[in-house]
Amino acid sequence: MACTGQSVFAGTDEISSEAEGKDLKTEISDYIQHHLKDSHDFSLFSYSDDQNITHHVGLPLPVILWDNGLVLFSSSKLHHGESVAEAGGNYYKAYHGKIYKTDSEGTINYDESHHPTNIKPVDFSITKSVVMILITGFLMFLLFRSLAVSYSKNNNIAKGVGRFFEPIILYIRDDIAIATIGEKRYRKYMPFLLTIFFFVWFLNMFGMTPLGVNVTGNIAITTALAILTFLLTNFTGTSDYWKHLFDPLGDSMPWIAKIPLYIILVPIELLGLIIKPFSLLIRLYANMQAGHIVIMSLIGLMFIFKNWIGSTLSFGLAFAISIIEILVAVLQAYIFTMLSALYFGFASEEHEHAEAH
């Protein structure tokens, strides 16, 4: 479905109405910031006609709000933030990626810090990030189902595309799960480790396509993944794991002598419970976010140079960084999986406390 709107820099949506009067560098910066955000529509590409009207080509997505009741309408009504959508007698406007309740004119009110003060309904919309998560989940289901079927029909021998993914699965099992968790307890963590690796890897790769979906560069997504690792680590932790947190010195010295040390050690151990998932989410978020910023900045330089030498150099650098980002995509999936396995290994530890120290 195609829709139109005024824009100076092709490809923008809600920032397009604000782009007029800005120089090219500012427009490119705004476009990069817009690309890094989620949106309520799935834009494939856009182009400007002779009248400087930008036509956005893509698919509208369902907007689902809770505003004293369930409100449903298509994101095409928002017209990339340029129009006011009417639904159920109320008016809504998309502003910087969020939907606010407004009047028929689309008025946005601000406080002293220039933050919108309009009512913001609870948003359950299916955004483009949600669409890519669903697509990735479906692809993973097909992948693992076909691999399981080929195993059952061919005496545990993979066929077709499964031959490519089987070595990866075996590597995660042998060199990540067993090596860090132990052969005794690794099996219960394997479904999560396989899921998280392929989930992050596939989403990272989708982010490198012209679709431009920056799912793993969204801190809300990486936070959710890190919380899953945090919950699984602590809910499956053994008694030795928890004893190590609250009694890190074990029986190596009398309690009276340990109390002064525990005033420092125990808070540090408990702080580590938060630092571990925080490091997971920040590492994945920052690396994928930075990669998108660098590539799009290099592409933006082509519009600034506007000559064969500068544009060719910018294109060459952008292409080289894109190749590196393909490696980073699988590397970040590996790091997230490896660190999760390490945390699971800590949670599964069983030993005599005095012996461990």
288 neighbors 35 (Cβ within 8 angstroms): no
Identify whether residues 91 and 39 lie together within a single domain: yes
Question: Mean pLDDT, the chain, as a whole number?
Answer: 82
Identify whether residues 323 and 188 lie together within a single domain: yes
Amino acid 318: pLDDT: 87
Identify whether residues 201 and 311 lie together within a single domain: yes
DSSP designation for 186: G
Identify whether residues 155 and 108 lie together within a single domain: no
Q: What is the largest CA-CA distance in the chain?
A: 84
What is the full DSSP assignment across 115-174?
-B-S---EE----HHHHHHHHHHHHHHHHHHHHHHHHHHTTS---TTHHHHHHHHHHIII
pLDDT above 60 for 14: no
CA distance linking residue 288 with residue 225, whole number of Å: 15
CB neighbour class for 296 (10 Å; exposed up to 12, middle 13-18, buried from 19): buried
pLDDT above 70 for 250: no
pLDDT above 90 for 195: yes
Identify whether residues 28 and 143 lie together within a single domain: no
Region 176-195: what's the mean pLDDT? 92
State phi, psi for 288 to the nearest 5 degrees. Answer: -75, -35
Token pair recorded at residue 342: 């390490």
Identify whether residues 282 and 337 lie together within a single domain: yes
228 neighbors 199 (Cβ within 8 angstroms): no
Amino acid 301: pLDDT: 85
pLDDT above 50 for 356: no
Identify whether residues 151 and 110 lie together within a single domain: no
Q: Which of 76, 109, 126 is the last residue of a domain?
A: 126
Identify whether residues 350 and 216 lie together within a single domain: yes
Identify whether residues 80 and 34 lie together within a single domain: yes
Sign of CA dihedral 224, 119, 64, 1: negative
CB neighbours of 300 closer than 8 A, spacing ≥ 6?
28, 31, 32
Amino acid 292: pLDDT: 85
CB neighbours of 144 closer than 8 A, spacing ≥ 6?
194
CA distance linking residue 244 with residue 269, whole number of Å: 8
pLDDT above 60 for 353: no
Q: Which of 90, 110, 126 is the last residue of a domain?
A: 126
What is the full DSSP assignment across 225-247?
HHHHHHHHHHHS--HHHHHHHH-
DSSP designation for 110: B
72 neighbors 87 (Cβ within 8 angstroms): yes
CB neighbours of 82 closer than 8 A, spacing ≥ 6?
5, 6, 13, 14, 16, 17
DSSP designation for 38: -
Sign of CA dihedral 249, 254, 255, 260: negative
Angle among Cα 248, 189, 281 to the nearest 5 degrees reads 70
Identify whether residues 115 and 136 lie together within a single domain: no
Amino acid 231: pLDDT: 94
State phi, psi for 207 to the nearest 5 degrees. Answer: -65, -20
The domain tally of the chain equals 2
Residues in the chain: 357
Q: Which of 94, 126, 158 is the last residue of a domain?
A: 126
Identify whether residues 57 and 183 lie together within a single domain: no
pLDDT above 90 for 201: yes
CA distance linking residue 231 with residue 233, whole number of Å: 5
Identify whether residues 274 and 175 lie together within a single domain: yes
Using pLDDT thresholds of 50, 70 and 90, give the confidence band for residue 44: confident
pLDDT above 80 for 51: no
Which residues constitute the domain of residue 91? 2-126
pLDDT above 50 for 265: yes
57 neighbors 43 (Cβ within 8 angstroms): yes
CA distance linking residue 14 with residue 33, whole number of Å: 11
71 neighbors 87 (Cβ within 8 angstroms): yes
